[in-house]
Chain A
Amino acid sequence: MTDLAHIRNFSIVAHIDHGKSTLADRLIQETNTVSERDMKEQLLDAMDIERERGITIKANTVRIEYTARDGEDYVLNLIDTPGHVDFAYEVSRSMRAVEGSLLVVDSTQGVEAQTLANVYQAIDADHEIVPVFNKIDLPASDIDRVAEQVEDVIGIDASGAIPVSAKTGEGIREVLEAIVTRLPAPKGAPDAPLKAMLVDSWYDAYLGVIVLVRVIDGTLKKGARVRFMSNGAVHGVDRVGVFRPTMQDVGELGPGEIGFLTASIKQVRDTRVGDTITTEKHGATEPLPGFKPSQPVVFCGLFPVDNAEFEDLRDAIDKLALNDASFSHEMETSAALGFGFRCGFLGLLHLEVIRDRIEREYGIDLVTTAPSVIYHVHMRDGSMIELHNPADMPDPTLVDHIEEPRIKATILVPDEYLGDVLKLCQDRRGIQEDLTYAGSRAMVVYDLPLNEVVFDFYDRLKSVTKGYASFDYQMTGYRQDNLVKMQILVNEEPVDALSIMVHRDRAESRGRAMCEKLKDLIPRHMFKIPIQAAIGGKVIARETLAALRKDVTAKCYGGDVSRKKKLLDKQKAGKKKMRQFGKVDIPQEAFISALKMDG
């Protein structure tokens, strides 16, 4: 157990790619936590998908030991957090476990949307904030400009900001000193009843569930019997330890310390993030305030391209869900797609990551249906249905009104692209709430319907601003609007997997765009195919895919077996990546591509 005065706990927060994980590397290296041999870039981004995409998805905790200039030895617990907005929840819960934050700002980029969002969270959590201006090794680095932005846009003092290069290691010592001298030591009473905050948990095939805890009061000991206060479950603690960054056992964890416990827990679902862990006997009576679990906001159907792989898909989804409590799933059947799952995600990147992992790690080809948000459908009889899937929309004559989720979106963008951003937000039914300038950059705040953002808003934003805009959002609540279910009929048959909820005023243009897209996405068949968008029974847009007129191999004589076989296989193979709807084959990518909007 370390005495409180010699502990410092902090999270590293920043906008995407501003260098959090690289800074964590340098802190780990400078304190000799990991041998030179085991060191690698973004050491903490251990998941395949993190390494491949070069981003952090899960927050990671590491304990490092530092001998400060005052000659004292300190224990520092750092938490490296993800920058992408989908994983904002990882940041917020990490902040609950620590007293301070290193706010990393890329000095070649300046303050971005997630910089802001993270600062506000840190202020909310009563954190001491140390600004760190990174990437000073790059010629484009401009510390004065960034300092100005931090003061103007965020409104915090930038005089103590530390210029560093997480790449070369310049300034790292200063960061370590600032952690010790400027961040507060944690408080807590070692002899009080145990109160440990459950910060995170994940599944390990050998150890069962691993629980990340922050001890607030009392002492967590190996062998103790502990109670999870939310559900009263009692477990015997098998192991107690810390991450360096590999798991290292310690006998106990005292107040202010961050580490793990294992207790033969079988499912992540049995551990609730934000829960309070105490001892079975003489435990605490009042739990810690806790925090809200994350809620999935984007839903879509995942179906195997090959129906025979449904059981494999179930297996894959069960395994992934073991480790990711923010991902929800339930079985779904679709007239067109057969058996699959309706899954909920934190955002589109989260969706993509899960889909990628199922396809790659489990080798299952998937059809992904149109992403949707949760609508509140208020019925005439006074009841309310939470609608996750447009296919389940009740008979409209029984519906009184529909509400949709709204968000507050903050966008930072250089002046020259402001017009395009305003137009984009306007087109997506946004209501402008604020517009301010800091130097040559604008900050706009919009109230937007989540369903207009969920799908391709971020892609569109990136493309209209050449990647110079940044974007963050928070859910604000539900509001009633004129929403309808739009169906797509291919060859006169409704394709449920293509149904979407849409604002009545936008229905014609969305419908037309989808029909045009599908016309390009569906290959010609031997007959002409009408493609229609309809609300109720009324067709609001229509395209016709002309019939295929010629598809024949010109030359085909005796000869080469393998050539002939190739020709034959080609004729059979085209079908594999398609789903059949009546007589029409629809390529699997069509279900997502049809929804992309160009404007």
Chain B
Amino acid sequence: MFFGGGTPSLMSPRLVARILRAADRAWGIGEGTEITLEANPTSSEAGRFRGYRDAGVNRLSIGVQSLRDPDLRRLGRLHSAAEALRTIEIASRSFDRTSFDLIYARQDQTPEAWRIELEQALSLNPSHLALYQLTIEAGTAFGARFDAGKLPGLPGDDRAADLWHLTQEVTQAHGLPAYEISNHARPGAESRHNLTYWRGGDWAGIGPGAHGRLTLDGRRIATETPLAPGEWLHAAEAGRATVHLPEDEPAEILLMMGLRLREGVDLARYDALGGPPLACLPELIGDGLLRREGDRLSLTDEGRPLLNAILSRLLA
């Protein structure tokens, strides 16, 4: 179970408990089920952590983003680095499993500065870390500022690649290798929920703007709900909050998602979903970018940072 998107840590622990009880009544929550809640690193939210644990939550995922105040401001975050550190501290007292995220390849960030910040993060002993490279996307506020030349000092391709390799090296040395492009964990501490996405499993998406994937009568279905809370509530009360859509190109999406994982993707399943032949496969294997063991196809360490380029060759 995963409470995420928006800011679920604004919910009262009591509401979380009621939702979990309802879910248990509906489906039964098994022993050892991973129940994650996303939280922001502010003190008011940290005050509710113990309550969440008592309600049944057993994993916390904290949106830290940076341990440097100037960068937090540039990223438009409201919390400070001190608050973030304190929140992680409090969380680790209540939960065995905490995860937090950091964004790197930021403006003016040197490899040395990132190494120090990353080692500081690892010294907090998280069992799971999400480490994203800052991506400027068209159509976002960041994208507009970037286009207007207001984001100087972002790394070019080469420096971004250096930062990537540094990240792999440091996390590996601390026992948190990447199990997915941007996700690192101690072996066994991977996010079971997120693995579902990358492994092409089923999940039910509930609440405003939630997406899901279900296999119904052997066919894979994508589900969607209204984004506006009021509208969703209205629809939910009328029993028609969820719309079903066929999933387009399921094989391609399986490949695109599955290759993100270190464990790779099952080619037999790709074929079963009707995926087009992968003509460039031998060449990419020969170039040392992909590895094939039986039906398992995965990226090599060289191939991992080039996933998009590899996909565009595979799927061309």
**Are A526 and B253 interface neighbours, CB within 8 A?**
no
Return A531 CB to nearest CB of chain B, in Å: 18
Once A526-B289, A557-B194 are accepted as A-B contacts, the answer to whether A550 and B256 lie under 8 Å apart by CB is no
Mark B195-213 against chain A: 1 for CB-CB distance below 8 A, else 0: 0110000010100000111
Interface size class of A (residues with CB under 8 A): 20 to 34
- CB-CB < 8 A to A574: which residues of B? 312
**Are A565 and B305 interface neighbours, CB within 8 A?**
no
Once A558-B213, A560-B211 are accepted as A-B contacts, the answer to whether A549 and B158 lie under 8 Å apart by CB is yes
Q: For the complex, give the distance between the alpha carbons of A464 and B141 in Å.
A: 39
**Are A561 and B222 interface neighbours, CB within 8 A?**
yes
**Are A526 and B222 interface neighbours, CB within 8 A?**
no
- CB-CB < 8 A to A561: which residues of B? 211, 222, 224, 245, 247-248
Interface residues of B in 2-46 (CB under 8 A from A): none
Q: Does A548 contact B (CB under 8 A)?
A: yes
Interface size (B, Cβ < 8 Å)?
Answer: 45
Chain B minimum-CB-distance residue to A576: B316
Q: Does A555 contact B (CB under 8 A)?
A: yes
Q: Does B278 contact A (CB under 8 A)?
A: no
Q: Does B306 contact A (CB under 8 A)?
A: yes
Q: Does A571 contact B (CB under 8 A)?
A: yes
Once A524-B157, A568-B256, A571-B315 are accepted as A-B contacts, the answer to whether A551 and B308 lie under 8 Å apart by CB is yes
**Are A564 and B253 interface neighbours, CB within 8 A?**
yes
Q: Does A205 contact B (CB under 8 A)?
A: no
- CB-CB < 8 A to A567: which residues of B? 256
Q: Does B233 contact A (CB under 8 A)?
A: no
Once A524-B157, A526-B287, A571-B312 are accepted as A-B contacts, the answer to whether A552 and B307 lie under 8 Å apart by CB is yes
Mark B248-259 against chain A: 1 for CB-CB distance below 8 A, else 0: 110011001100
Mark A537-572 against chain B: 1 for CB-CB distance below 8 A, else 0: 000000000101111111111111100110110011
Residue among B197, B252, B312 with the highest chain A CB neighbour number at 10 A: B312
Residue among A556, A560, A571, A574 with the highest chain B CB neighbour number at 10 A: A571
Q: Does A40 contact B (CB under 8 A)?
A: no
**Are A551 and B211 interface neighbours, CB within 8 A?**
no
Once A526-B289, A527-B287, A550-B164 are accepted as A-B contacts, the answer to whether A558 and B309 lie under 8 Å apart by CB is no
User: Which of these, B133, B134, B161, B197, contacts A549 with CB under 8 Å?
Assistant: B161
Once A549-B305, A559-B211 are accepted as A-B contacts, the answer to whether A565 and B249 lie under 8 Å apart by CB is yes
User: Which of these, B161, B212, B252, B260, contacts A556 with CB under 8 Å?
Assistant: B260
Q: For the complex, give the distance between the alpha carbons of A574 and B289 in Å.
A: 20
Q: Does A575 contact B (CB under 8 A)?
A: yes
Mark B135-177 against chain A: 1 for CB-CB distance below 8 A, else 0: 1000000000000000000000110110010000000000000
Chain B minimum-CB-distance residue to A559: B211
**Are A575 and B312 interface neighbours, CB within 8 A?**
yes
User: Which of these, A526, A559, A572, contacts B306 with CB under 8 Å?
Assistant: A526
Return B103 CB to nearest CB of chain A, in Å: 9
Q: Does B58 contact A (CB under 8 A)?
A: no
**Are B249 and A568 interface neighbours, CB within 8 A?**
yes
**Are A572 and B315 interface neighbours, CB within 8 A?**
yes
- CB-CB < 8 A to B114: which residues of A? none
Chain A minimum-CB-distance residue to B133: A554
- CB-CB < 8 A to B212: which residues of A? 558
Q: For the complex, give the distance between the alpha carbons of A527 and B224 in Å.
A: 41
Return B284 CB to nearest CB of chain A, in Å: 8
User: Which of these, A525, A555, A571, contacts B132 with CB under 8 Å?
Assistant: A555
Q: Does B182 contact A (CB under 8 A)?
A: yes
Return A27 CB to nearest CB of chain B, in Å: 50
Q: Does B50 contact A (CB under 8 A)?
A: no
Mark B276-316 against chain A: 1 for CB-CB distance below 8 A, else 0: 00000001000101000000000000001111111111011
Q: For the complex, give the distance between the alpha carbons of A432 and B189 in Å.
A: 79
Mark A567-589 against chain B: 1 for CB-CB distance below 8 A, else 0: 11001101100000001000000
Interface residues of A in 281-320 (CB under 8 A from B): none
**Are B253 and A568 interface neighbours, CB within 8 A?**
yes
Residue among A526, A552, A557, A559 with the highest chain B CB neighbour number at 10 A: A552
User: Which of these, A524, A526, A555, contacts B182 with CB under 8 Å?
Assistant: A555
Q: For the complex, give the distance between the alpha carbons of A556 and B222 in Å.
A: 16
Q: Does B181 contact A (CB under 8 A)?
A: yes
Return A565 CB to nearest CB of chain B, in Å: 6
**Are B197 and A557 interface neighbours, CB within 8 A?**
yes
Return B315 CB to nearest CB of chain A, in Å: 5
**Are A526 and B135 interface neighbours, CB within 8 A?**
no
Interface residues of A in 439-475 (CB under 8 A from B): none
Return A149 CB to nearest CB of chain B, in Å: 46
Residue among B160, B212, B311 with the highest chain A CB neighbour number at 10 A: B311
Return A519 CB to nearest CB of chain B, in Å: 14
Mark A51-71 against chain B: 1 for CB-CB distance below 8 A, else 0: 000000000000000000000
- CB-CB < 8 A to A546: which residues of B? 158
- CB-CB < 8 A to A554: which residues of B? 132-135, 181-182
- CB-CB < 8 A to A556: which residues of B? 181, 256-257, 260
**Are A575 and B307 interface neighbours, CB within 8 A?**
no
- CB-CB < 8 A to B194: which residues of A? 557-558
- CB-CB < 8 A to B211: which residues of A? 558-561
Interface residues of B in 106-125 (CB under 8 A from A): none
Return A357 CB to nearest CB of chain B, in Å: 30
**Are B315 and A526 interface neighbours, CB within 8 A?**
no
Mark B45-79 against chain A: 1 for CB-CB distance below 8 A, else 0: 00000000000000000000000000000000000
- CB-CB < 8 A to B222: which residues of A? 561
- CB-CB < 8 A to A560: which residues of B? 211
Once A524-B157, A553-B135, A558-B196 are accepted as A-B contacts, the answer to whether A571 and B308 lie under 8 Å apart by CB is yes
Return A550 CB to nearest CB of chain B, in Å: 4
- CB-CB < 8 A to A568: which residues of B? 249, 252-253, 256, 311, 315
**Are B307 and A548 interface neighbours, CB within 8 A?**
no
Chain B minimum-CB-distance residue to A571: B312
Q: For the complex, give the distance between the alpha carbons of A532 and B189 in Å.
A: 51
Interface residues of A in 491-540 (CB under 8 A from B): 524-527
**Are A548 and B312 interface neighbours, CB within 8 A?**
no
Q: For the complex, give the distance between the alpha carbons of A552 and B306 in Å.
A: 6
Return B220 CB to nearest CB of chain A, in Å: 11
- CB-CB < 8 A to B135: which residues of A? 553-555
Residue among A550, A572, A574 with the highest chain B CB neighbour number at 10 A: A550
User: Which of these, B158, B224, B247, B307, contacts A553 with CB under 8 Å?
Assistant: B307
- CB-CB < 8 A to A572: which residues of B? 312, 315-316
**Are B315 and A550 interface neighbours, CB within 8 A?**
no
- CB-CB < 8 A to B307: which residues of A? 551-553
Mark A238-279 against chain B: 1 for CB-CB distance below 8 A, else 0: 000000000000000000000000000000000000000000
Chain B minimum-CB-distance residue to A525: B309
- CB-CB < 8 A to B133: which residues of A? 554
Return A568 CB to nearest CB of chain B, in Å: 6
Chain B minimum-CB-distance residue to A546: B158
Residue among A560, A561, A583 with the highest chain B CB neighbour number at 10 A: A561
Q: For the complex, give the distance between the alpha carbons of A572 and B316 in Å.
A: 6
- CB-CB < 8 A to B304: which residues of A? 552
Chain A minimum-CB-distance residue to B259: A552
Return A548 CB to nearest CB of chain B, in Å: 6
User: Which of these, B181, B245, B287, B316, contacts A552 with CB under 8 Å?
Assistant: B181
**Are A553 and B308 interface neighbours, CB within 8 A?**
yes
**Are A549 and B252 interface neighbours, CB within 8 A?**
no
Q: For the complex, give the distance between the alpha carbons of A557 and B196 in Å.
A: 9
Residue among B134, B182, B308 with the highest chain A CB neighbour number at 10 A: B308
- CB-CB < 8 A to B247: which residues of A? 561
Return B246 CB to nearest CB of chain A, in Å: 9
Chain A minimum-CB-distance residue to B256: A568
- CB-CB < 8 A to B213: which residues of A? 558
- CB-CB < 8 A to B256: which residues of A? 556, 564, 567-568, 571
Q: For the complex, give the distance between the alpha carbons of A557 and B287 in Å.
A: 28
5 inter-chain pairs at a CB distance below 8 angstroms, sorted by A residue, are A548-B309, A552-B305, A553-B135, A555-B135, A568-B256
8 tightest Cβ-Cβ pairs between the two chains A and B: A549-B161, A558-B197, A550-B161, A554-B132, A552-B307, A571-B312, A550-B305, A551-B308
